[in-house]
Copies of this chain bind each other. A is one copy, B any other.
Amino acid sequence: MAIVQCVPNFSEGRDLEKVEKIVSPLRGKEGVKLLNYEPDPNYNRLVVTVIGEPQKVKNAVLEAIGVAMDVIDMNVHEGQHSRFGATDVCPFIPIKGMTMDDAVQIAKELGQEVSKKYNIPVFLYEKAASKQERENLATVRKGEYEGLDKKFEDPNWAPDFGVAKKHPTAGAIAIGARRPLIAYNINLDTQDINIASNIAKTIRHSSGGYRFIKAGPVEIPERKITQVTMNLTDYTKTSMYRAFEAVKMEARRYGVNVTGSEVVGLCPMEALIDVASYYLGLENFDLGKVLETSLME
């Protein structure tokens, strides 16, 4: 049986009543499991993780997108995170028994249904993108909600589904398919954000680092530390241990220590087993030797 993960992000992280309304279509449905949802008041954003059978997940998420359209008005939305729609992004991640192409297919089906049912213009991104310049979410969302009218004047930015006109309260939506992403933060025993920033620059792809690391600095004043905060966008090519050891190696230059790390949200078993396998120097080890693998077949 195929299993897909879907991580829709909604532009509401403060009004918990609205949050509950948005996640409600993702509850109690056969073949659909709501794993996690985290409203963030600073970002004024809600990140939801749902998992299950592809068609059933798609239908439940379609409903949730409808609720978000009804309860969120982007004209009055403010928060610290970039966004251009009530449902801002909606990636599908193939987990089991399906390929990336299958996930792209689900993303396209959802895109078509969203534009048809709700009149929200849809951009396809990452692996589902229709052209290369739409692969990067940051590019697709550039200008944010407030810049949508202008964006749609450019024929290059016609949506993949629907007409080139923002929804009057829900804006636009980016729907895509991608690999599982690991949100991974590494703690530094310094309060100097410049050090965290310099280290982030050395390891991230955009400034010369590893191909599948996005990274930046974060202050955690209550703990008197800083963090290098990362997205590992393909852990099969850039492993967690590589990010960890690279940050340790760079931190030495500043006499700073790495004191620990954390995973935000969920992490695929394979990524962690690769870490164990590296540090123990395991020979001939693969997922087939993990007892639980046989329970998931």
A-to-B contact residues, CB < 8 Å: 3, 5, 33, 35, 51, 95-96, 180, 187, 240-241, 244, 258-263, 265-269, 272-273, 275-277, 279-285, 289-292, 294-296
Contact = CB atoms under 8 A, between A and B. Distances in A.
A289 B91 CA distance: 19
Nearest to A96: B295
9 contacts: A244-B280, A262-B284, A262-B285, A263-B282, A269-B269, A269-B273, A269-B290, A272-B277, A275-B280
Given A281-B261, A283-B260, A285-B263, A291 B276 contact: no
A31 to B, nearest CB: 13
Nearest to A282: B261
Q: Identify the interface centre among A265, A283, A289, A291: most chain B CB within 10 Å of its CB.
A: A291
Given A266-B294, A295-B296, 17 more contacts: A95-B291, A96-B295, A187-B281, A258-B281, A259-B281, A260-B283, A261-B280, A261-B283, A262-B285, A267-B289, A267-B290, A269-B291, A273-B276, A275-B279, A276-B279, A279-B279, A292-B292
A241 to B, nearest CB: 7
A269 B290 CA distance: 6
Copies in the complex: 2
A94 to B, nearest CB: 12
A261 B35 CA distance: 35
Nearest to A5: B291
Contacts of A3: 295
Contacts of A279: 241, 244, 275-276, 279
B241 A266 contact: no
Contacts of A260: 280-283
B291 A180 contact: yes
A168 to B, nearest CB: 37
Contacts of A282: 260-263
Nearest to A273: B272
Nearest to A288: B266
Contacts of A294: 33, 35, 51, 266
Contacts of A180: 291
A174 to B, nearest CB: 23
